[in-house]
Every structure is written in C-alpha cells, then in structure tokens.
Homo-oligomer: A and B are copies of this chain.
C-alpha cells in the first residue's frame, strides 16, 4: 500500500498528463515491488515557481537568467 507524493514546479500538466503519470508510477510499483494497485495512492502537488528554490534562488529567477 504505497503512498507516492510528486511535487512539481511550473506549468500545470494537463489532466491527460496527470492520468499518465498516475498510471505510469503505479505500474512501476506493481511491476517492480509487487504492490497492489488498489491500495496505491499517487498525489501530485503543483508548486508555483516563486515557491520552489534551487541553487539558492527561485525557479522564477533562474528561468529569467537561462531564458
């Protein structure tokens, strides 16, 4: 009964992309660890780029620089 929490920054995925991520990640846990999909949760959290830091600055600032 795994619980998977995926945090991502930036543009929100489409509903179809989210479905494929949920399906794909669940399949990995079923195939590789023998987990039961019926009790496998996958929760996607979307984080604004102002709130996600890497290298000591927000993704918002970082993307300005790398254009």
User: Taking each of A22, A31, A47, A53, which has the highest tally of chain B beta carbons within 10 Å of its own beta carbon?
Assistant: A53
CB-nearest residue of chain B to A35: B8
Q: Cβ of B37 and Cβ of A56 under 8 Å apart?
A: yes
A 25-51 binary contact with B (CB < 8 Å = 1; else 0): 111111111010111111111110011
The chain A residues found within 8 Å of chain B, CB to CB, are 1-9, 13, 15, 17-33, 35, 37-47, 50-61
19 contacts between A and B (CB under 8 A): A1-B8, A2-B6, A4-B5, A4-B7, A17-B33, A18-B58, A19-B61, A20-B32, A21-B29, A22-B57, A24-B28, A26-B56, A27-B56, A28-B28, A38-B54, A40-B56, A41-B52, A44-B51, A44-B52
